[in-house]
Amino acid sequence: MNICSFCGGDIKVIKDKPYHYDECGLDVTLCGVTQYECTECEETYVSLPNIQQLHRIIGAHICEKGKALLQPEEIRFLRKDLHMRAKQMARVLGTTPQALSRWENGRKPIGETHDRLFRAVYMMYASEPTAFMQWATQHNVTNISDGLGMLVGQAAESFNLWRGVRPSVAPVIQSIQASM
């Protein structure tokens, strides 16, 4: 890129300047990305080489953080990174779109069980979003029984990892199935 697409002015290359990645909706600053600035109108551009991989790194970082519950903007980021609509994600998590909406807009905290389940779902499927979407489509995301035990088991593992307590999975599975 050497001409500004807005005014046609010359572009200068900026290296080694931290880039605040506002577009992702999170407080993330990237180092080592090349930025460009128009010398005429001062419009700025950025070149992000591998956005999918970048998002996976950000997502994994969010999921691996310690005790704090997922924040609204983090929940939204993780869901969008899986290319899930709110309705689909709510079904996978065994909750309602309204509840998910409240977590995403900050009107209500996510709660510990769904927090851990959400992270487990993300970590499990972020590595193969295509397969996950095919699976979700095949099941119309109305029936998650095939993967439910696995998901809840993974969430229990995560909970054990973070909290040192391994919850019983059967009541959780029953509770989720009852709400479907």
Task: Give me the residues that bind Zn ion (CB under 5 A), please.
Answer: 4, 6-7, 9, 38, 40-41, 43
**Least Cβ distance, residue 19 to Zn ion (angstroms):** 19
**Least Cβ distance, residue 3 to Zn ion (angstroms):** 9
* 38 or 123: CB nearest Zn ion: 38
CA–CA distance from 29 to each of 20, 49, 104, 130 (Å)?
4, 15, 22, 28
CB of 129 closer than 8 Å to CB of 83: yes
* 23 or 40: CB nearest Zn ion: 40
**Least Cβ distance, residue 44 to Zn ion (angstroms):** 10
* 44 or 137: CB nearest Zn ion: 44
Question: Nearest-CA neighbor of 113 among 159, 146, 79?
Answer: 159
